[in-house]
Chains A and B, each alone.
Chain A
């Protein structure tokens, strides 16, 4: 049997990426400002992690203008949702093994 630790998803190793995905799992489109506020982060910090998730195609991006101000929203892709669920299973297995 393959050890669950081998399947540990590197993309979610980081707490911030995990946080972004957690929020996107239970919401539809969420904008940058809301993510920043929820996770209590700076612009630059959040942006770099979002880029990483985007590179994995775990999230998709929608840019638009609201009252002439740019507004960027994010949504978890099908791929991202599955990867996140898989990651949750791995976390659960590790906890079970340690019990």
Chain B
């Protein structure tokens, strides 16, 4: 029936023109694995901190640990999404990806600066909850400009962050679940829902 085809075409064009649909599931999986390894290292470091007797500031070590994870996740995110965009024949750096990035970065950068102030004032236990909450808010905000599934991913991060704010001291576990396990789950969902089809077309 032509009316059904019309509606399908309308829906397709609306999605294609307003959402960035080249995010790759593989990026999420790799970011999640990197986060788990990073969290494992941080956990090992903290539990052996007296034995190790480092000359450098332990906060600096943890900061470098986090930075390495962030760079791996960022590169994986850009690389696999860029490849997917080529396969789909859509621009990687276009109107939709710019809009997605801006809406993602506003809560995220706010959260980043907020965390720096937490460090400055010495509220170390609130850093992990804050990173989870602001990351979740960034995902919810970005979800309007990419896969709708991102919305639930963001909500889960916010809930985890709130739990972590209450159960202070278990931060590393919440962090591992939020940035490790949830990323891997989200990556697998995206991979099978959207990437698998593209790869086999």
Residues of A whose CB lies within 8 Å of any CB of B are 15, 18-19, 22-23, 25-27, 30, 34, 38-39, 88, 91-92, 94-95, 98
Contacts of A95 in B (CB 8 A): 1, 3-4, 7
A38 CA to B1 CA in the complex, in Å? Answer: 24
Some 10 contacts from A to B, beta carbons below 8 A apart, are A19-B9, A22-B9, A22-B13, A22-B17, A23-B13, A23-B17, A26-B17, A27-B18, A88-B7, A95-B4
Name which residue of chain B comes closest to A8, CB basis. Answer: B3
B14 x A91 contact (CB < 8 A): no
* Inter-chain contact total with CB atoms closer than 8 Å: 43
Q: Are A26 and B14 in contact (CB under 8 A)?
A: yes
Q: Which residues of chain A are within 8 angstroms of B16 by Cβ–Cβ distance? A: 38
B residues within 8 A CB of A91?
3, 6-7
- Name the one of A25, A30, A34, A98 contacting B14, with C-beta atoms under 8 angstroms: A25
* B90 → chain A closest CB, angstroms: 9
Closest residue of B by beta carbon distance from A30: B17
The answer to whether B9 and A15 have CB atoms under 8 Å apart is yes
Q: Bound state CA distance, A90 and B7, in angstroms?
A: 11
CA distance A10 to B17 in the complex (A): 24
A19–B1 CB distance below 8 A: no
Chain A residues with CB under 8 Å of B7's CB are 88, 91-92, 95
Give the residues in chain B near A22, CB-CB below 8 Å: 9-10, 13-14, 17
B13 touches A19 (CB 8 A): yes
A7 to chain B, nearest CB (A): 14
CB of B83 within 8 A of chain A? Answer: no
A19 nearest CB neighbor, chain B only: B13
| Interface residue total, chain B, C-beta cutoff 8 A | 13
Complex: A25 Cα to B1 Cα, angstroms: 24
Shortest Cβ distance from B106 into chain A, in angstroms? Answer: 18
Chain A CB within 8 A of B95 CB: yes
Q: B10 near A88 (CB under 8 angstroms)?
A: yes
CA distance A76 to B114 in the complex (A): 40
B3 touches A38 (CB 8 A): no
Are A18 and B10 interface neighbours, CB within 8 A?
Answer: yes
Q: Choose from B9, B18, B95 the contact partner of A18 (Cβ within 8 Å).
A: B9
CA distance A30 to B3 in the complex (A): 26
Chain A residues with Cβ under 8 A from B14's Cβ? 22-23, 25-26
Contact indicator A38/B17 (Cβ below 8 Å): yes
Chain A's nearest CB lies how many Å from the CB of B10?
Answer: 4
Q: How many Å from the CB of A61 to the closest CB on chain B?
A: 18
Q: Could you tell me if A98 and B1 are in contact, using CB atoms closer than 8 angstroms?
A: yes
| Chain B residue contacts of A88, Cβ below 8 A | 7, 10
Contact of B13 among A38, A94, A98 (CB under 8 A): A38
**In the complex the two chains form, what is the Cα distance from A85 to B1 in whole Å?**
20
